[in-house]
Amino acid sequence: MTTNLRGILAPALTAVTDDFQIDQERTIAHYAWLLENGCDGVLVFGTTSEANSFSVAERKRLLEQAVEAGIKPERLLVGTGCCAFADSIELTKHAVQIGCAGVLMLPPFYYKQLSGDGLFRYFASLIERVANDSWKLYLYHIPPIAIVPFSFSLIEKLIAHYPEIVAGIKDSSGDFEHTKELIKRFARPGFDVFPGNESTLLAALRMGAAGCIPGTANVYARLLQTIFRARQTAEAEEHQSLVSKCRQVILGYPLIPALKAIISRMRVDLAWKNVQPPLSPLPEFELEGLLEKLTAAGFDWPASRRIA
């Protein structure tokens, strides 16, 4: 794994069955659709994928099935960060062996008030146990959920010790000042910064961000790709304004149920509304309101969309 993924990446939704098993066929078809409709890569088992609601065995099996179905592993990032050290190692080794573009790792997030030394020891020990010089590790900074952060000093130390492996960071802090500081301090060839908030995509790109990894890419990756490719134009500014409006609408609802409900309606496929416990599907009356608000915001729905 030598080439860093850049551009628009979707933390892909995971379709599930009525009895809470991964729906392999729908999920892999969604990966393919994303790659054909604006995504440069797909993040398998990120937050929006409900990653921590699935077992290690389930996660490994789906990744294998995706590659067997023809999804190119070099276009996949894989979420492998778990609370259990052994689980993180197992998932990371598996992704490396398959040839994925890299892994995105949460910090170990159960215990709080961790020292920088303790977190460095965790990642250094993991890197040594993976024992492969050709893989790429992306850090996943999401303190609103994980609570445990990646401090600037920890990032600097990891890069200094493992410059060929520690390849970037996804910043889901929700704080654009933090994103700007990450870009200023660390963005360079070999280390990429991806905001998780697409409402700041254009500004971040113009500062040196490598792209964006937002959950909403599951719905409007083509629009985000237009911004990525035309970042220096007035057209990109118009698209950014639309994206920001759409994001505000979607964030008025529980994110994962809302995105799955939108996909369900776009594809006329009720199975896509299923979510893994403890989440609950978005009620139909809330979906109607969401769709109306997105339309009013100016979202250009795909031609295949049909309201039943």
pLDDT tens digit string along 187-203? 999 999 999 999 999 99
The pTM of this model reads: 0.94
Annotated active-site residue in 110, 111, 184, 295: 110
Whole-number Å distance between alpha carbons of 138 and 209: 14
Query: Does 180 qualify as catalytic in the annotation?
Result: no
Query: Does 138 qualify as catalytic in the annotation?
Result: no
Token digits of residue 29: 């078809």
221 close to 34: Cβ distance less than 8 angstroms: yes
Q: How is the chain split into domains, by residue range? A: 7-230
Longest CA–CA separation in the chain, Å: 56
Q: Residue 251: name the closest of 201, 214, 279 by CA.
A: 214
Token digits of residue 232: 């220096």
Annotated active-site residue in 47, 48, 80, 179: 47
Annotated active-site residue in 170, 180, 260, 273: 170
Query: In 10 A of CB 128, how many CB atoms?
Result: 9
Number of Cα atoms under 13 Å in the Cβ half of residue 178 = 18
Percent of the chain with pLDDT over 90: 94
Token digits of residue 56: 């290690």
Q: Residue 168: name the closest of 223, 262, 105 by CA.
A: 105
Q: Which H, E and C letters describe the chain, residue by residue?
A: CCCCCCEEEEECCCCECCCCCECHHHHHHHHHHHHHCCCCEEEECCHHHCHHHCCHHHHHHHHHHHHHCCCCHHHEEEECCCCCHHHHHHHHHHHHHHCCCEEEECCCCCCCCCCHHHHHHHHHHHHHHHCCCCCCEEEEECHHHHCCCCCHHHHHHHHHHCCCCEEEEEECCCCHHHHHHHHHHHCECCEEEEECCHHHHHHHHHHCCCEECCCCHHHHHHHHHHHHHCCCCHHHHHHHHHHHHHHHHHCCCCHHHHHHHHHHHHHCCHHHHCCCCCCCCCCHHHHHHHHHHHHHHCCCCCCCCCCC
Whole-number Å distance between alpha carbons of 114 and 27: 36
Whole-number Å distance between alpha carbons of 265 and 268: 5
CATH class of the 7-230 domain in this structure: alpha beta
Whole-number Å distance between alpha carbons of 48 and 77: 13
Annotated active-site residue in 31, 80, 92, 140: 140
156 close to 125: Cβ distance less than 8 angstroms: no
Whole-number Å distance between alpha carbons of 217 and 200: 14
Query: Does 47 qualify as catalytic in the annotation?
Result: yes
pLDDT 10s digit of each residue in the chain, 308 long?
A: 445 899 999 999 999 999 999 999 999 999 999 999 999 999 999 999 999 999 999 999 999 999 999 999 999 999 999 999 999 999 999 999 999 999 999 999 999 999 999 999 999 999 999 988 889 999 999 999 999 999 999 999 999 999 999 999 999 999 999 999 999 999 999 999 999 999 999 999 999 999 999 999 999 999 999 999 999 999 999 999 999 999 999 999 999 999 999 999 999 999 999 999 999 999 999 999 999 999 999 998 765 444 33
- For residue 143, what are the contacts with CB-CB under 8 A and spacing of at least 6? 149, 173
Q: What's the length of the chain?
A: 308
Query: Does 170 qualify as catalytic in the annotation?
Result: yes
